[in-house]
Structure 1
């Protein structure tokens, strides 16, 4: 089936998708509770929030509404948390954020009984169960396909910085990976992962995707795991590089930050060509070291830490924050930069203080989610 035409949506509107862990309160392992939780939601017939299954049964996805401003997104996700945590208590599970479960086994995961997920299991084998990772996707509304492609190209140099800001997946398989964000490496083996090709306009992108659909290589845009991809049926571009944050407050802040970044790139585009192809290097640095990694400026070749780059970017975003009533987003992001510590480092500190208690780490992650505080 060919791509749908590019839907025109409200420019710079935003929404988020949050993939969340379902934990057994005693073992802190992922528990296959998605069916029970979704059934409980259907019984209540509460139409305020949209939840859907994910590829395996130990996870669930929340889809926000479309928001013009950060404040309404913040209000929705914090209210959703109260609703979800109360329902999870009734179902005997706990909810947690973070990009990976520290000690789960992919072999123990069960596919959610949905045709698409079962087909992915058949197509990708064990990689599909290893896909039990947890990310946040941010959608930004765009008026047309050409603008979407231009904006993806414009924001690409800043994608590694966003990865560093959100890093929350230092552990996998009961081991410290040495990375601040290890989640993205689970996506690497999939076809069409990483950076989107540098399309000149929507017609070129549409032709490229439709030819692969016609050849039976992919089924839809969902089979492209690009870091940032167009989503024509929604009229958005979709940022797919974030680890699920430990709290919904951080999730709202990151959504607001992406909105401001896109506003800056739409209305003050840097037309200078990039001299240095630093994307792969910067992306690796962000995944490996988080905020203390270094970023190569693709225009000048100069180097600075992601913390320094983030401070400079926030300065540039101040005028747009004023226009979009999002000064608090900038202030809150600055506060998180001040300690110079990512969520991954907070997780490492927790494990170090408890002499490697993995269960205690997951219990703490669930506490962070329910309380809205990383402490």
Structure 2
């Protein structure tokens, strides 16, 4: 089955997919409760919010509506949080964000009984269960197919910086991985992961994908795990690099930042990269978060992620004003000077003498409260609405 036609639509609209973990409140293990939770939603017949299963039963995915601005997305996410929290309480479970479950063992995961997920289980074996990770996918309206390809090319150099800003997955299988974002490395073994090839135009992209479909190597665009990929049936480009934010306010901020970045890139002159620094920059972001560095692919200049982010946020200011997102940039700028979320998570574990259950309890508390709570004192500034 070949790619569908690219759906023409509005530029710079936004929507998100949010993968959330289901926790047992007794021991904070993953609760295989997706079927129960989704069945309860069907019984309620509440059509305000759209949820669907994910590959294993300890997670569900929320799909937002299409929004023109970040604040209407935040309003929907706030309503969703209350709705989901009440249903989860009826099911005897908790909901949490974050990119990984610190204690989960892939051998214990149960694949959700749906045709695609069972097919993935057969195709990828144990990797399909290790795919129980949690991300936020941000969709931005591209207008048309050619704009989508040009926009992906323009935003790609900044993707590692977005990874560094959102990194919140330092633990896997009971171990501190040493990475700020370990989630993305769970995708590395899959075919067609990482950066999308630098296609000249939509026609080249379409021929590439359709050729692999015809060979039976892939079934659809879903089998490409590129960091940013076109989504022709939606008329969007899809950013797949964010760890699930710990609060819905932070999720709205991250999506708002992506929208502003895309607006700026649409208005910029196309540049030709002189250096293939993307793999290095992506590794730095995953390994060190904002404490890492990046090499500018156009100039070869080496700078810290913090310095690169300060310069980028300054560049984005006029576009943020047009999109009513100045507050988003203010909070992102503050994040550059706060402790990284991965470090906050490590501090919580250290203060609990290595008890990872304390970390998972905190993650659930943050989602329930709608804000990132620093233990005992204040909030992470970037999570609080203005």
Alignment TM-score, normalising by the size of structure 2: 0.96
- Identify the residue that residue 99 of structure 2 maps to in structure 1: 99
Is the Cα–Cα contact under 8 Å of residues 310 and 333 in structure 2 kept in the other structure?
yes
- Identify the residue that residue 310 of structure 1 maps to in structure 2: 309
Partner Cα separation in structure 2 for residue 174 and residue 218 of structure 1 = 33
Q: Secondary structure at the match of 1:13?
A: strand
Q: How far is the alpha carbon of 1:236 from its aligned partner?
A: 0.2
Task: Name structure 2 gaps, 5 residues minimum.
Answer: 375-386
Instruction: Describe how 1:318-333 pairs up with structure 2 within 5 A.
Output: 318-333=317-332
Instruction: Describe how 1:86-235 pairs up with structure 2 within 5 A.
Output: 86-235=86-235
Runs of 4+ in 1 over 3 A off after TM superposition: none
Are 1:366 and 2:364 counterparts? yes
Partner Cα separation in structure 1 for residue 138 and residue 307 of structure 2 = 24
Partner Cα separation in structure 2 for residue 320 and residue 227 of structure 1 = 24
Is the Cα–Cα contact under 8 Å of residues 18 and 61 in structure 1 kept in the other structure?
yes
Is the Cα–Cα contact under 8 Å of residues 248 and 371 in structure 2 kept in the other structure?
no
Q: Residue deviations 1:200-231, cap 9 Å, x none?
A: 00000000000100110000000000000000
Further displaced range: 295-304 or 157-166: 295-304
Partner Cα separation in structure 2 for residue 75 and residue 321 of structure 1 = 19
- Identify the residue that residue 283 of structure 1 maps to in structure 2: 282
Further displaced range: 298-307 or 158-167: 298-307
Q: Residue deviations 1:173-193, cap 9 Å, x none?
A: 100000000000010000000
Alignment TM-score, normalising by the size of structure 1: 0.98
Partner Cα separation in structure 1 for residue 340 and residue 141 of structure 2 = 28
Q: Residue deviations 1:255-304, cap 9 Å, x none?
A: 000000000000123x3322111100000000000001001111221111
- Identify the residue that residue 351 of structure 1 maps to in structure 2: 349
Partner Cα separation in structure 2 for residue 328 and residue 87 of structure 1 = 32
Q: How far is the alpha carbon of 1:305 from its aligned partner?
A: 1.2
Partner Cα separation in structure 1 for residue 24 and residue 145 of structure 2 = 44
Q: How far is the alpha carbon of 1:372 from its aligned partner?
A: 2.1
Q: How far is the alpha carbon of 1:338 from its aligned partner?
A: 2.0
